[in-house]
């Protein structure tokens, strides 16, 4: 059994992963509320226990625990919280499970270098703050037990990315290093999980940095992100020494972990922006929730049911205003080298939807395009913030009878290959209508309009939108 102490952002995913790979997992949380929520929703067990309370931990002693993973956080506390959660917690876990393999998730913040140097596990750490010294003491305790210390870089992933969120909310700063900003060392949550899995499954002891392969300065990363998200570059600022974590500037090496065969799925942050279907989308949504606005790219996004004229009208709009046209259905079939009916047949609608989201992600950073989308793109909640960000959103609507007429001559739409396409279109409109409506900046009823007339309307209102 693997005991996972701390089921927060990392611990919960780690528990899911290890359980999914056949390990028996017991999750420990600090609050009874979290344990209750996890017990209700997860296929693995979760219980509440305050690990700073030795008697409480000893009650877990009859569980057949072979591995203990300590990934509880100090909940932003100061030295006292650090001592309780890390030092006392580890001591109590060791007393209760004397022969278990102990893995402790520490932090690359133990490297306090400010000179941009490359650091590895042999580089001495001399933490100046008390919290840093406590972390180091906890590491030494674990190493003395022949355990494993995983020094994690800044964890990001779906719902959590300080770098992107701060950029989009215009709260980011480029700190120090002659205007280049400090080096950022990050790790995607899923890669942290795969690293910890490897360390516990192979029972490797010692210290390992868990960091991706691309240390970048703030300027380097923000330059790429600003272009991708049509956002302004953050201003330069003096390093903030009031932060909970002291200012550091160093490149953390992952060579030791890679020598064990570990390879990150996302070697750099931009790889995750390009390929993680939830990263950009969830952070855009958080920014929308927090501030009501996000940067919008200078494109026109056309949405609506099959047959509403997205591609035809899209082409005409593009001609009128000198934009290029791109069609998500074409992107999907081009990258898959298969027609859409073939993808539906081989991979089901689920496979098609994954490819459609990937197509949408590939459009981040584009400008001056009319983006025609597949009618079902709004059915995936994570596509919605992406669509909103990608441009001025236009919904072409029409009566199901009109749509049925317009689509009757082609048989390349798997969802309409049935007895009564009009009824299917009506049912789809019932479900998707509210989604189109919510997303759209402009709504046009096209039943009685020619494609030219519709395109004229779109071009004129887009011009206005881009001017303001
Ligand atoms: C679909 C619409 C199609 C295509 C796929 C699924 C849908 O695109 O993406 O057949 O779910 O409505 P068009 O709307 O361009 O026909």
**Nearest in space to 90 (alpha carbons), one of 6, 27, 166:** 6
Calculate how far, in angstroms, residue 306's C-alpha sits from the geometric centre of ligand 1: 6
Beta bridge partners of 251: 118
Which residues, 6+ apart, have CB-to-CB distance to 330 below 8 Å?
none
**Domain limits, the chain:** 2-283, 296-467
Identify the pLDDT of residue 420.
Answer: 87
**The CATH number of the domain covering residues in 296-467:** 3.40.50.300
Our mutation pick for probing the ligand 1 site, out of 328, 375, 430, counting the most ligand atoms within 8 A of Cβ, is 375
Give the per-residue pLDDT at 352: 98
- 431-439's contacts with Cβ under 8 Å and 24+ in sequence apart are 431/379, 432/305, 432/375, 432/376, 432/378, 432/379, 433/397, 435/378, 435/379, 435/384, 436/303, 436/304, 436/378, 436/395, 436/397, 437/395, 439/303, 439/378, 439/384, 439/387, 439/388, 439/393, 439/395
pTM of the model: 0.94
Token pair in block for residue 148:
């494993």
Q: Compute, in angstroms, the gap from residue 398 CA to the centroid of ligand 1.
A: 15
CA distance 184 to 215: 6
Three-class secondary structure of residue 370 per DSSP: strand
Nearest CA to ligand 1 atom 9: 374
What pLDDT is recorded for position 127?
Answer: 86
| Closest CA to ligand 1's atom 10 | 413
407 Cα–ligand 1 center, Å: 11
Q: What is the pLDDT of residue 244?
A: 66
How confident is the model at residue 398, as a pLDDT? 94
pLDDT by residue, tens only, the chain of 468 residues = 999 999 999 999 999 999 999 999 999 999 999 999 999 999 999 999 999 999 999 999 999 999 999 999 887 788 999 999 999 999 999 999 999 999 999 999 999 999 999 999 999 998 888 999 999 999 999 999 999 999 999 999 999 999 999 999 999 999 999 999 999 999 999 999 999 999 999 999 999 999 999 999 999 999 999 999 999 999 999 887 776 678 899 999 999 999 999 999 999 999 999 999 999 999 999 999 999 999 999 999 999 999 899 999 999 999 999 999 999 999 999 999 999 999 999 999 999 999 999 999 999 999 999 999 999 999 999 999 999 999 999 999 999 999 998 888 777 888 888 888 899 999 999 999 999 999 999 999 999 999 999 999 999 999 999 887
Q: What is the pLDDT of residues 130-163, one digit of tens each?
A: 999 999 999 999 999 999 999 999 999 999 999 9
| DSSP run (H or E) holding 5 | strand 2-5
Count other C-beta atoms under 10 Å from residue 168's C-beta.
25
Which regions of 186-320 does DSSP assign to beta strands (E)?
186-188, 206-210, 216-217, 236-237, 250-252, 300-303
The rounded Å distance from CA 373 to ligand 1 centre is 8
d(CA 137, CA 123): 16
Distance CA 65, CA 147 (A): 15
Strands 250-252 and 206-210: unpaired
Structure confidence at residue 68 (pLDDT): 98
Report d(CA 220, CA 185) in Å as an integer: 13
Substitution site in 413, 424, 429, 430 for ligand 1 pocket (most atoms within 8 Å of beta carbon): 413
Taking CA atoms only, the protein residue closest to ligand 1 atom 3 is: 374
Write out the two tokens for 363.
């459009």
Q: Give the residue among 1, 12, 3, 82 at the shortest CA–CA distance from 42.
A: 12
User: In sequence order, what E strands does 398-432 have?
Assistant: none
Which atom of ligand 1 is the closest one to the Cα of 310? 15
Residues sharing a CB contact under 8 Å with residue 307, sequence separation 6 or more, in sequence order: 398, 402, 403, 404, 405, 406, 407, 425
pLDDT per position as a tens digit, 300-336: 999 999 989 999 999 999 999 999 999 999 999 999 9
| Helix (H), strand (E) at residue 426 | helix 421-439
Mutate to test the pocket of ligand 1, among 374, 378, 415, 425 (most ligand atoms within 8 A of CB): 374
Same topology between domain 2-283 and domain 296-467: yes
CA 85 to ligand 1 centroid distance, Å: 52
Please count the residues of the chain: 468
CATH fit for domain 2-283, picks 3.40.1190.20, 1.10.340.30, 3.40.50.720, 3.30.565.10: 3.40.50.720
The residues, any chain, with a CB within 8 Å of residue 318's CB and separated by 6 or more, are: 324, 325, 369, 370
CA of 459 to the centre of ligand 1 (A): 24
Residue nearest to atom 16 of ligand 1 (CA): 306
- Residue with the smallest CA separation from ligand 1 atom 15 is 374
Pocket test for ligand 1, best of 302, 306, 425 (most atoms within 8 A of CB): 306
Provide residues with CB under 6 Å of ligand 1.
Answer: 306, 310, 329, 340, 374-376, 413-415
Question: Read out DSSP for 325-364?
Answer: EEEHHHHHHHHHTS-HHHHHHHHHHHHHHHHHHHHHHTTT
Q: How far apart are CA 34 and CA 42, in angstroms?
A: 12
Contact criterion met (CB below 8 Å) for 11 and 27: yes
Nearest one of 13, 254, 270 to 111, comparing CA atoms: 254
- Best residue for ligand 1 mutational test, from 370, 415, 429 (most atoms within 8 Å of Cβ): 415
DSSP structure class, residue 402: H
Contact between residue 93 and residue 85 where contact means Cβ atoms under 8 Å apart: no
The closest alpha carbon to 466, from 279, 323, 314, 319, belongs to: 323
Instruction: Give, in order, the Cα–Cα distances in Å from 232 to each of 127, 161, 272.
Output: 35, 18, 21
Q: How far apart are the first and last CA of the chain?
A: 60
E strands, 53-152, in order: 67-70, 101-107, 117-119, 148-152
Contact 299, 366 (CB under 8 A): yes
């Amino acid at each position: 059994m693997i005991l996972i102490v701390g089921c927060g952002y990392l611990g919960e995913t780690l528990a899911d992963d290890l359980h999914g790979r056949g390990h028996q997992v017991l999750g420990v949380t600090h609050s009874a509320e979290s344990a209750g929520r996890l017990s209700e929703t997860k296929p693995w067990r979760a219980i509440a226990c305050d690990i700073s309370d030795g008697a409480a931990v000893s009650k877990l002693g009859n569980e057949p625990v072979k591995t203990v993973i300590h990934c509880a956080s100090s909940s932003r506390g100061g030295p006292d919280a650090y001592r309780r959660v890390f030092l006392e917690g580890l001591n109590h876990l060791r007393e209760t499970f004397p022969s278990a393999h102990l893995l402790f998730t520490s932090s690359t913040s133990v490297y306090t270098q400010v000179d941009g140097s490359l650091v590895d596990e042999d580089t001495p750490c001399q933490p100046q703050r008390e919290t840093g010294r406590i972390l180091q003491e906890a590491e030494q305790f674990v190493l003395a037990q022949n355990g494993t210390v995983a020094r994690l870089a800044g964890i990001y992933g779906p719902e959590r990315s300080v770098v992107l969120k701060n950029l989009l909310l215009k709260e980011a700063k480029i700190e120090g290093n002659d205007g280049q900003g400090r080096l950022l060392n990050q790790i995607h949550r899923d890669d942290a999980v795969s690293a910890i899995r490897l360390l516990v499954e192979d029972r490797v002891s010692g210290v390992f940095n868990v960091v991706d392969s691309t240390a970048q300065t703030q300027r380097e990363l923000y330059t790429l992100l600003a272009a991708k998200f049509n956002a302004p570059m953050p201003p330069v600022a003096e390093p903030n020494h009031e932060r909970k974590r002291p200012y550091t500037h160093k490149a953390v090496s992952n060579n030791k972990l890679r020598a064990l065969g570990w390879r990150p799925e996302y070697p750099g942050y931009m790889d995750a922006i390009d390929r993680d279907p939830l990263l950009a989308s969830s952070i855009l949504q958080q920014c929308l929730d927090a501030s009501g606005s996000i940067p919008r790219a200078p494109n026109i996004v056309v949405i609506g049911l099959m047959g509403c004229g997205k591609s035809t009208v899209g082409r005409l709009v593009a001609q009128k205003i000198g934009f290029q046209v791109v069609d998500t259905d074409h992107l999907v079939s081009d990258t898959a080298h298969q027609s859409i009916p073939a993808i539906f047949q081989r991979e089901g609608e689920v496979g098609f939807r994954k490819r459609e989201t990937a197509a949408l992600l590939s459009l981040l950073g584009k400008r001056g395009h009319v983006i025609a989308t597949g009618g079902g793109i709004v059915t995936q909640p994570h596509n919605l913030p992406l669509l909103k960000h990608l441009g001025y959103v236009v919904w072409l609507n029409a009566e199901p009878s009109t749509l049925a007429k317009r689509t009757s001559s082609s048989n390349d739409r798997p969802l309409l290959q049935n007895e009564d396409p009009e009824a299917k279109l009506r049912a789809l409109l019932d479900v998707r209508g509210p989604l189109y409506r919510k997303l759209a900046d402009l709504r046009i009823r096209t039943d009685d309009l020619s494609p030219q007339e519709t395109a004229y309307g779109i071009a004129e209102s887009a011009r206005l939108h881009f001017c303001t």
